[in-house]
Amino acid sequence: MGKCTIDHTLEDVKQKLAEQSAFMPRELVMEVGDSLSEAADQTYLNEVFHLLKKYDLADESEREKRNGKLSDLVK
């Protein structure tokens, strides 16, 4: 995943999570969703967005990597 210079809003990230949630482990969806709030900083929002972007198109190995990164971010 390349670096993106676009800042994603909280609503963008919530929408992307909603779009990809059917392809993700339920517990991870809940954890990520719970971590999204007005207090989330821009760097966090951008990282989460890019891990969710095209999640549905990623192979199983890539999904596992992204799941691990998302888990680390929300803890």
Q: Tell me the whole-structure pTM to 2 decimals.
A: 0.91
- Tell me if 4 is assigned to some domain: no
How would residue 1 be classed by pLDDT, with cut points 50, 70 and 90? very low
Is residue 42 in a domain?
yes
Q: What's the domain range around 55?
A: 10-74
Q: What is the DSSP string of 42-72?
A: HHHHHHHHHHHTTGGGS-HHHHHHHHHHHHH
State yes or no: pLDDT of 34 exceeds 90: yes
Tell me what pLDDT residue 75 has. 85
Q: Is residue 18 part of a domain?
A: yes
Q: How many domains does the chain have?
A: 1
| Higher pLDDT pick, 3 / 34 | 34
Q: Does the structure show a pLDDT above 80 at 47?
A: yes
17 found inside a domain: yes
Q: Tokens representing 28? A: 């991870």
Q: Does a structural domain hold residue 55? A: yes
Residue 2's pLDDT is 52
Q: Work out the percent of the chain whose per-residue pLDDT is above 70.
A: 95
